[in-house]
Structure 1
Amino acid sequence: MGIIKLIIIVLIVWLGISVWRKFRKTTDNNLSQPSTSKMLSCSVCKTHIPENEAILQDGKVYCSKSCL
Structure 2
Amino acid sequence: MILKILAIAAVLFLVYIIFFKKNREKDIIKKKDVKYEDEMVECPTCKTYISTKESIVSNGKYYCSKDCLANK
TM-score range, shorter chain: 0.3 to 0.5
TM-score in terms of structure 2 length: 0.44
TM-score in terms of structure 1 length: 0.46
Q: Bigger radius of gyration, 1 or 2?
A: 2
